[in-house]
Amino acid sequence: MIQLYNICKSYSKDGTALEDVNLKIPKGDFVYITGPSGAGKSTLLKLLYVAERPTRGQILINGQNVTRMSVAKIPFLRRQLGIVFQDFKLINSRTIFENVAFPLEVRGRKRFEVGKKVYQVLKNVGLEHKLTKFPLQLSGGEQQRVAIARALVMEPLVLLADEPTGNLDLEVTLEIMDLFKGANARGTTVLLATHDREMMRRFPRRQICLENGRLTEDWIP
C-alpha cells in the first residue's frame, strides 16, 4: 500500500528532517510512528499527503508514485486519504454537519447522499445529536471525533493521523483509539504519529521509531 525508498527531506542546507528512510506498509496495517519531538514524524506524514515533496527518494501509495505527481493530481490522491490533526483543523464558522460533509461536497456527491452518509458517520462517532452545533461549542474530544468522522466519511484507503490525541485526556484518548481500530478493522490502513507510550502499551501495534530523521526501529508485536 505505502512504500518509501531512500527518502530524504531537508528544509535547509544544515537541517535534515528525514534521512534515508525505507519503509513498506502493507494494506490494512496499523502503524504507530513514534519518536521525540522534531524526529520527523509530521514531515513523514506531510510527504505522504504531498504537502511537502522529498528532497530525494521515491514514495509509492497504492501503486502511484507521488514524488513526481503533478499539482493537478494531488487532490485526487488526497481523496483516497483521510487526515486527522492534533489541532482538528475544523472550520469554526461551519456546523458539524457541514464540516463532515465537506469531503463529499468536494467530490460532487448528491445532497441526499451527503445527508445520509454524514448522519451515519456521525452516529458511528457518537455525535449524531450535535450535527447542528459549531465546533467551538464542543469539547476537545468531541471536536477530534468530528475530525475523524470527516476523515472517515469517504472510507479512505489510508488514514493519516498526526498526534490526534496530543491534547486529550486518557478517557477521550481511549474513545478515539476505538474509532481508529474500527476503521482499521473495516480495511483502512492507519498511520498514527504519536509519542504517547501509554496508548502504544494499551494497543500494541507495529511501531516505527524515528530519531533525528532516521528510522531507528521497526517493531512488530
Residues lying near other proteins in the complex (CB under 8 A) are found at 49, 71-72, 74-79, 83, 89-94, 102-103, 105-108, 150
- Closest CB to other proteins among 162 and 175? 162
- Closest CB to other proteins among 56 and 79? 79
- Closest CB to other proteins among 95 and 212? 95
To other proteins, the closest distance from the beta carbon of 218 in angstroms equals: 28
- Closest CB to other proteins among 145 and 150? 150
To other proteins, the closest distance from the beta carbon of 140 in angstroms equals: 17
To other proteins, the closest distance from the beta carbon of 39 in angstroms equals: 23
Q: At what angle do helices 140-152 and 170-185 cross, to 10 degrees?
A: 10
The candidate with the shortest Cα–Cα distance to 173, out of 196, 139, 206, is 196
To other proteins, the closest distance from the beta carbon of 71 in angstroms equals: 5
